Structure 1
């Protein structure tokens, strides 16, 4: 079968609203610094009204990954649900403008708006994320079409979207299609709370051989393994997938595939401005390296370069030419 895409992804179609904050405001709103949580429509309205001056930048974990992958030269397509509203138009415009195919029909029901993530960024760059899923949680299974899935080298699934029933069924449908076509399937577990809610499901996906590449940070690896020691957790999870990729913040990243283990340090950066999207862009660099046939170390290095670029500015989409940055390092 002809490869139409290098990477397609199913994920939340979200517009991020970012604003600066301080620890006093987080405490007053009972928001643990650096946390990620789902909120309802009323809380979204309340918190938005209390935030400082914000800036709107399209986001969504898997969509951020595709944006980075597209800048790196990959052919990408996205499946996600927006509503017929202003933020839906913003999201659709932004992802297409970055060279990602996006043809999921707009949700006809106008009572549920496009998803938004209210991100409070502290002075040290830490982000406290509050997500209202809105229309994203109603992605129907029939939005996943076989030609698109079967025509992609890699299918990326976003763990955040495993929570709502309809998108979960959409992702299960995509897994069946990708498996039938012999394609690679990657999963980003997204957050510790996703693992808390769906650990048994995620482990079953691994044990059933439905996931080839697993992306997680160090805390998520620990939660998935149910252990307190990182090395032991890696040893427990790595044999269940073809490739385990674990990011460790300032301590770099590790990838394990069969008997091979590779590690890289974090890329040096003058100042961390906003850590939103760091893991997403790391996945972008790694996956593009993977579809290019590069080794684990090069894939990790590409991920580290992309992550360092995105945390040097506001927002979770790349602004610099990360393809040029990778070429200068790796050729």
Structure 2
């Protein structure tokens, strides 16, 4: 069998993260529960940006963060997402491609501008995310390069992208191409509000046997199955060939048929920012999966990558992940 040209091709939001430290009092004054994630409009994005003080701008987006980590580990990756023809769009493309991720979807002309996520980091490291989707909201179905999808080992779908109608249509087209070509389909549900909003659709994808790998955290799993997390893992494992459930500081567990493995969270000196923890966990796990590693080693790689990203601000790794993984495995 011919090896895939890309270990993972991902579809996701192309968003620039703006990260700033804030006090608990700031969050309370703005009516933002610590750890929450919400979509905001352009006016609120401008207002909140003006209040949040100095910030660090880093290219982000859940699926793109995962690909960045995978590429740093040595995987071959490609990204499908939408930026605008503006300064942030150019910066975003440069940041991603400079890591070695293929990203050649043409920029979108006119409004809205490239998306951005305003990430407010509390003193305990918990992050509150306020996302203006911008141009990423308008990824068209014709942006799907069918040959690119066929060339992948895994098609990775970002749950945040399921809400807007155009990206949803693009993802459905990609799923159809992947299934016909025998490419595995992975879905990350991404956030509790995504599952609340799209539980029916996500469950339909699972029931129709369109999802081969599912990434959830405990809360998302419980919402999806309308049960507690442990029971949800059991029912999901009956319907999805491979389920990976992260458990925050308690680590993670994966189930594939009768095979089950778990891992403890990677110890870090100080949790500075949990932004990107789930994204980088998926990066490590999928890299191991692409290398045909066992479940336990895939989970360990995920924990190592997540541990690195929560030890500093921002959702992209700062350490040499390949060297870090080699030193710990």
Q: Is the 8 A contact 2:113 2:135 kept in 1?
A: yes
SS at match of 1:232: helix
Contact 2:272/2:313 (8 A) holds in 1: yes
Query: Normalising by structure 1, what TM-score?
Result: 0.98
In structure 2, C-alpha distance between the alignment counterparts of 1:272 and 1:259, rounded to whole Å: 34
Provide structure 1 residue ranges, at least 5 long, that are not aligned to the other structure: none
Deviation at 1:33, TM superposition (A): 0.5
Corresponding residue for residue 5 of structure 1: 6
Runs of 4+ in structure 1 off by over 4 angstroms are none
CA distance, structure 2, for counterparts of residue 190 and residue 79 of structure 1: 17
Query: What is the rounded CA distance, in whole Å, between the counterparts of 1:68 and 1:159 in structure 2?
Result: 18
Query: Which residue in the other structure is 1:314 paired with?
Result: 313
Task: Quote the residue 1:238 is aligned against.
Answer: 237
Aligned CA RMSD, in angstroms, stands at 0.8
Compared with structure 1, are the counterparts of its residues 35 and 255 closer, same or farther at alpha carbon in structure 2 (3 Å cutoff)?
same
Question: Deviations along 1:212-235, whole A, 9 cap, x unmatched?
Answer: 0000111101111111x2211111
The Cα shift of 1:193 comes to 0.6
Match of 2:164 in 1: 164
Secondary structure of the corresponding residue to residue 281 of structure 2? helix
Give the match for residue 198 of structure 1: 198
Counterpart check, 1:295 vs 2:294: yes
Deviation at 1:328, TM superposition (A): 2.0
Secondary structure of the corresponding residue to residue 7 of structure 1? strand
Number of residue pairs the alignment of both structures matches: 328
Contact 2:111 2:135 in 1 (8 A): no
| Pairwise CA distance, 1:260 | 1.1
User: For residues 184-241 of structure 1, what are the alpha-carbon distances to aligned partners after superposition, in whole Å with 9 as ceiling and x for unaligned?
Assistant: 11000011111111101000101111100000111101111111x2211111111110
Q: Distance in 2 between matches of 1:329 and 1:209?
A: 36
Displacement of 1:329 after TM fit?
2.6
Partner of 2:87: 86
- 8 Å CA contact 2:8–2:155 kept in 1: the answer is yes
Aligned residue for 2:149, secondary structure, equals helix
Q: Aligned residue for 2:61?
A: 60
| Other-structure match for 2:268 | 269
Secondary structure class of the residue paired with 2:34: coil
Q: Which blocks of at least 5 consecutive residues in structure 2 are unaligned?
A: none
Structure 1 SS opposite 2:102: strand
> What does residue 49 of structure 2 align with?
48
SS at structure 2 position matched to 1:157: strand
Distance 1:19 1:2 in 2: 42
What does the per-residue CA deviation read over 1:294-318, in whole Å, with 9 as the maximum and x for residues that have no partner? 0000000000000000111111111
State how 1:139-178 maps to structure 2 within 5 Å.
139-178=139-178
Aligned twin of 2:219: 219
Shift of 1:2: 5.2
Q: Where do residues 77-156 of structure 1 align in structure 2 (5 Å cutoff)?
A: 77-108=78-109, 110-156=110-156
Tell me the distance in 2 between the aligned counterparts of 1:230 and 1:30. 28
Query: SS in structure 2 opposite 1:147?
Result: helix
Distance of 1:111 and 1:159 partners within structure 2? 24
1:19 pairs with 2:17: no
| CA–CA distance in structure 2, aligned partners of residues 225 and 318 of structure 1 | 32
- Once residues 4 and 234 of structure 2 are traced to their aligned partners in structure 1, the CA distance between those partners, rounded to angstroms, is 34
CA contact (8 A) 2:288 2:298 kept: yes
